[in-house]
């Protein structure tokens, strides 16, 4: 087990600048997820850590050792790829044992390590089979087994679940998370799926166009995003953004929407917002903070009357699309709160949980 330190890392492909001066420290034993849209540089960063790509500038240290000039085999890293990368004409036992044999591990140790890894991943009964005889989920377990059997300093996962169907992805997310808890190893996981990032990570590192947009614990990024990009990337359905300005409504500050609707800002959230009066902003509200107003409102809630345009039931919840301030928004409601398009409702907006974004910089305004 080892920590990882990256300083001023750059990676170019010709004139294309893919990784742009990344600084990152990952303490030993942490499960870190690199997440972002396709092309943001996350896989390139991972491959550079592994030594499969050469860093053009900057340093990479694993366990205090600079590894820039070391080949992949000498970095003591185990990597799990998206396409499994198994040998088709080897039994599963031999696929898992391959890395140990390549490193001259004594034969007396190999059998115990292979069987221990297989037991951990519940694939003991598959050891005599060939890859062509396994399902996608089983193949992924074998690929993970080949990595964990090595007892490496650092484990890297490059979108390992993207080829699996939704149910298998959910199952394997839990398996990898459980594996981390059992092994206690430093793991870095790359994905474009924000659900995977939120459910698996000790820390999320969100990349955008080759730089780190924000990093921190999953709920920190979800509840306290630094930019509109972060706020919009995390969450499903995504955060709603409504054009607005701050006005002084009597003695209190409110957010005025495009159709003139005024939503009062709770006093606990209004500090420091005075200088922003009259400037173009975006009001950000997550779907789960929009509900149908029934009975007494919670402190900090504001209301507006609107019409339901679209209803999407999911069983336990219903997603309703409505018009708020001239903008289409999605509200996550109780299953029977709305029944059909065209229904008039009073919408309650939890202003305690809203964010305000400066349209000039796309940065979230603190209050």
pLDDT digits 0-9 by tens, 74-117? 999 999 888 878 889 999 999 999 988 888 888 888 999 999 88
Q: Give the side-chain half-sphere CA count within 13 A for 299.
A: 4
What's the pLDDT score for residue 120? 85
* Topology at the third CATH level for domain 4-227: Rossmann fold (3.40.50)
What's the pLDDT score for residue 167? 82
The CATH homologous superfamily of the domain defined by 240-358: Nucleic acid-binding proteins (2.40.50.140)
**Average pLDDT of the segment spanning 224-245:** 96
Q: Name the least confident of 193-197, 343-347, 363-367.
A: 363-367
Name which residue leads in pLDDT, 4 or 116. 4
Q: Which of 66, 63, 51 is nearest to 7 (CA)?
A: 66
pLDDT in tens, 149-185: 888 899 999 998 887 788 878 888 888 898 899 889 9
203: left (phi over 0), alpha (psi -120 to 50) or beta: beta
Domain 4-227 and domain 240-358, same fold? Reply is no
Sequence ranges of the domains in the chain? 4-227, 240-358
Q: With 80 as the cut, is the pLDDT of residue 295 above it?
A: no
pLDDT in tens, 235-273: 999 999 999 999 998 788 999 999 999 999 999 898 889
pLDDT in tens, 133-149: 998 888 988 988 888 88
Angle (deg, nearest 10), helices 107-120 and 92-102: 130
Q: Which of 274, 280, 283, 276 is nearest to 304 (CA)?
A: 283
State the Cα–Cα distance between residues 50 and 54, nearest whole angstrom. Answer: 9
Alpha helices, DSSP H, located in 256-302: none
Q: With 60 as the cut, is the pLDDT of residue 367 above it?
A: no
The answer, yes or no, to whether the previous bond of 27 is cis (omega within 30 of 0) is no
3-state secondary structure of 305: strand
Using the CB atoms, write b or e for 66-79: b if 16+ within 10 Å: ebeeeeeeebbbbb
Instruction: For the chain, give the mean pLDDT.
Output: 92
What's the pLDDT score for residue 148? 84
Q: With 60 as the cut, is the pLDDT of residue 58 above it?
A: yes
The pLDDT confidence band at residue 1, using thresholds 50, 70 and 90, is low
Evaluated on CA atoms 167, 168, 170, 171, the torsion sign reads: positive
The pLDDT confidence band at residue 323, using thresholds 50, 70 and 90, is very high
- Residues 6 or more apart whose CB falls under 8 angstroms from that of 64 comprise 2, 3
What's the pLDDT score for residue 57? 97
């Amino acid at each position: 087990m080892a920590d990882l330190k990256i300083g001023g890392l750059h990676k170019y492909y010709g004139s294309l600048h893919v990784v742009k001066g990344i600084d990152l420290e990952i303490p030993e034993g942490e499960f870190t997820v690199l997440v972002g849209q396709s092309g943001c540089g996350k896989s390139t960063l991972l491959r550079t850590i592994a030594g499969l790509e050469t860093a053009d500038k900057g340093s990479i240290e694993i366990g205090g050792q600079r590894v820039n000039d070391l080949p992949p085999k000498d970095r003591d890293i185990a990597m799990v790829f998206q396409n499994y990368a198994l040998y088709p004409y080897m039994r599963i036992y031999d696929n898992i044992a391959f890395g140990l044999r390549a490193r001259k591990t004594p034969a007396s140790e190999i059998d115990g390590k292979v069987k221990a890894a297989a037991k951990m991943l519940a694939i003991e009964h598959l050891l005599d089979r060939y890859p062509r005889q396994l399902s996608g989920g089983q193949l992924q377990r074998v690929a993970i087994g080949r990595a964990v059997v090595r007892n490496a300093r650092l484990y890297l996962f490059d979108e390992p679940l993207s080829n699996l169907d939704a149910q298998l992805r959910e199952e394997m997310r839990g398996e990898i998370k459980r594996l981390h808890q059992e092994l206690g190893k430093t793991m870095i996981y790359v994905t474009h799926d924000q659900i995977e990032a939120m459910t698996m990570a000790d820390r999320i590192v969100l990349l955008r166009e080759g730089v780190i947009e924000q990093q921190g614990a999953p709920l920190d990024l979800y509840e306290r995003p630094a930019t509109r990009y972060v706020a919009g990337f995390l969450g499903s359905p995504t955060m709603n953004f409504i054009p607005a300005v701050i006005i002084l409504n009597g003695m209190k500050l409110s957010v005025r929407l495009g159709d003139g609707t005024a939503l009062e800002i709770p006093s606990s959230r209004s500090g420091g917002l005075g200088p922003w009066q009259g400037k173009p902003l975006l009001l950000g509200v997550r779907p789960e903070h929009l509900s149908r107003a029934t009975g007494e409102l919670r402190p900090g809630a504001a209301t507006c009357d609107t019409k339901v345009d679209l209803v999407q039931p999911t069983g336990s919840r219903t997603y309703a699309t409505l018009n708020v301030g001239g903008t289409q928004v999605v509200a996550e409601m109780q299953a029977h709160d709305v029944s059909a398009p065209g229904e008039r409702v009073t919408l309650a907006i939890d202003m305690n949980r809203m964010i305000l974004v400066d349209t000039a910089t796309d940065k979230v305004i603190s209050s």
